[in-house]
Amino acid sequence: MIEAEGLVKRYGATAAVDGLTFTAHPGKVTGFVGPNGSGKSTTMRLLLGLDAPDAGVTRIGGLPYRDLRWPLREVGSMLEARAFHPGRSARAHLAALAASNAIGHARVDEVLDMVGLAGAARRRAGTFSLGMAQRLSIATALLGNPEVLVLDEPVNGLDPEGIRWIRGLLKSLAGEGRTVFVSSHLIGEMAATAEHLVVVGAGRLLADTSVAELSAVGSGSLEEAFFALTAGSAQYEGTSQRAGPVSTASPRRASDTACP
C-alpha cells in the first residue's frame, strides 16, 4: 500500500504538489494521471524519498521510505528510461544494484529474461534503443521482487508490442496482490491498464475514483470525462484545442487553479 497525506512540494513560489492525499491499494493497478506539469513525477520522487516534501507524509507499507529495511525488495521503481551508466552492461548495472540489497545473482538473469533482454545482457547499455532502455529500467524495478511498484511513464518509448507486453505485466503483478502505481499523461493508456485512477492537475487531487466510475460520467467516454476534470489545470495547452465547451459533469468539480 502507498499512502500520501497532505503532500506539498514547492519550487520557489510555485507549488508543484499542493496538498495531495491519496492511497494506492494492493491487488490493483492504480493509474496516476494528469496533464504535463501536474506534479506526477514530483509526487513519485517524494514517495521514493528522493525529494523532501515541504509538508505532508508518504508511507509505503506503513513506513516512510527511508525506514525500509531492504528498499529494493519492498519497492521497485522506475523514474526515467536511461537511469544507468552508458558504459556499463545491463547485467553489471543490475548486479551492482542487486548487491546493495543482498539480492542473489540468479535474480539478475531472471529479470533480464522477464523483460526480454537476456540476449543483450552483456552489451554496453549506452547502445540500447529507447525501448530497450525502458525494458532495463523495468528490470531494475522488478529486481527485488517487490510488493510495491512505482513506475513513472513506463510505456514511453515502447513499440506497440512492448506496450501490450507491459500492460499484461502490470496486470499480472497486480493480480499477484502487489500494489502497482503507474503514472501516465495518456488517459487512453490508463483506461486499458488501470482499475483505479488518481487524477491530478496543478499539483492537486482532482479525482480518486475507479476507471468504471469515471467512464460512467457524462458522455460515457473516459477521455471526455478526463478532459472535463482537468480543464483549467493543464499548464501547457494549445488555445485552439480547448475551443469546444466541455459540458460533461465531473465526479468532483473541475479544478480551478485558484480554488482551495
Partner 1 sequence: MTAIQPTGTSTARYGFSNLARMEWLKLASLRSTWWTLAVTIAAAIGIAVGVGAQTKAHTADVTNNILGGVAPGLLLTGVLGVLVMTSEYTSGLIRSTFTAAPKRSLVLAAKAAVFGTVSLVVGEIAAFAAFLAGRASLPRTITGPALSHPSVLRAVVLAGAGYCLIGLIGVGLGAIIRHTPAAVAVLVGGVYVAGTALVGLSKSAGSYGPVSIVANSLTTTQRLAHALPPWAGLGMLCLYAALVLGIGGWLLVRRDA
The 163-202 contact track toward partner 1, x by CB under 8 A, reads ----------------x-----------------------
Residue 151 CB, nearest approach to partner 1 (Å)? 12
C-alpha cell at 92: 553489471
69 binds partner 1 (CB under 8 A): yes
Q: How far apart are CA 179 and CA 99, in angstroms?
A: 24
When binding is defined by CB under 8 A, the residue of 66, 236, 239, 260 that contacts partner 1 is 66
Identified binder of partner 1 from the candidate list 19, 49, 131, 218, rule CB under 8 A: 49
Query: Which range, of 84-92, 154-162, 163-171, 248-256, touches partner 1 by CB under 8 A?
Result: 84-92
Q: Does 102 bind partner 1 (CB under 8 A)?
A: yes
Q: Which stretch binds partner 1 (CB under 8 A): 13-21, 64-72, 207-215, 247-255?
A: 64-72
The strand pairing partners of 4, in sequence order, are 22, 58
* Contact in structure between 143 and 97 (CB atoms under 8 Å): yes
Q: Is 21 near partner 1 (CB under 8 A)?
A: no
Interacting residue with partner 1 among 8, 23, 54, 61 (CB under 8 A): 61
Size of the residue set binding partner 1 (CB under 8 A): 47
Q: Considering only CA atoms, which of 168, 134, 169 is closest in space to residue 152?
A: 134
CA angle 217, 24, 227 (to 5 degrees): 30
Using the rule CB under 8 A, is 12 a contact of partner 1?
A: no
Long-range contacts of 13-20 (CB under 8 A, 24+ apart): 15/203, 16/42, 16/203, 17/42, 17/43, 17/46, 17/53, 17/203, 18/202, 18/203, 18/204, 19/55, 19/56, 19/203, 19/204, 19/205, 20/56, 20/200, 20/203, 20/204, 20/205
Using the contact rule CB under 8 A, the part of the chain among 47-55, 165-173, 229-237, 246-254 near partner 1 is 47-55
Length of the chain: 260
Q: Restricting to residues 128-167, which ones interact with partner 1 according to CB under 8 A?
A: 140, 144-148
Q: Binding of partner 1 at residue 127 (CB under 8 A)? A: no
Residue numbers at the binding site for partner 1 (CB under 8 A): 1, 26, 45, 48-52, 61-62, 65-66, 68-75, 77, 79-80, 82-89, 92-93, 95-97, 99-102, 140, 144-148, 179
